[in-house]
Structure 1
Amino acid sequence: MKSFILQNLKRKGKPDPQVFLTTAKKLGLDPSSCLVLEDSKAGMEAGIAAGMKVILVPDRLSPVEKWHDQAYCVLSTLNDFDMNLVS
């Protein structure tokens, strides 16, 4: 499925979960069935607050080891993603 959800720029930024909750609602999905791929702490916190599973793909320039344990899993690169991680 290909979908694009565009938000008005006058929204709260992450870590507010609204962008994820709005997207799930527009797609007709329960947030708990959604997967978020994020590269930042604020994005990860927003996904978790929305009740979604968050896979962290950290920016190599920003050390994030302190909060890795909050993510569903951590990948080195997007190339490491495999749907078996979440099934």
Structure 2
Amino acid sequence: MIYHFLNVYLQKSEQQINNDTYNSTSSIGLHNWLIKTVFDEFNDRSEANDFNTKINELKTLRKKSDYQNRIIQQNEAEKARDTAYETLNIIKRNFNL
């Protein structure tokens, strides 16, 4: 989703994204770089902080399922879905999508 957002809405070419990630991800990692790049584009700091909170909630759940080899319960899956919708709505509101 974030790659698409950077490409289509922030009009960054695939090459530009690749160059930026190559030059910037060694210390923070690709996912964190993508999140920070979107975070930095917000004009409203409150909304940027809300985005950051929501995206990190999703990241935590992804880590549980991917790296801890843990089964995600129904209530966690529903919360992740709701959080994803909320995150998308924050992006839509702030970038007039």
Q: Aligning the two structures, in what range does the TM-score lie when normalised by the shorter sequence?
A: 0.3 to 0.5
- Structure 1 or 2: more helix by fraction: 2
Instruction: Give 1 or 2: higher strand fraction.
Output: 1
Specify the structure having the higher radius of gyration (Cα): 2
TM-score between both structures, scaled by the size of structure 2: 0.31
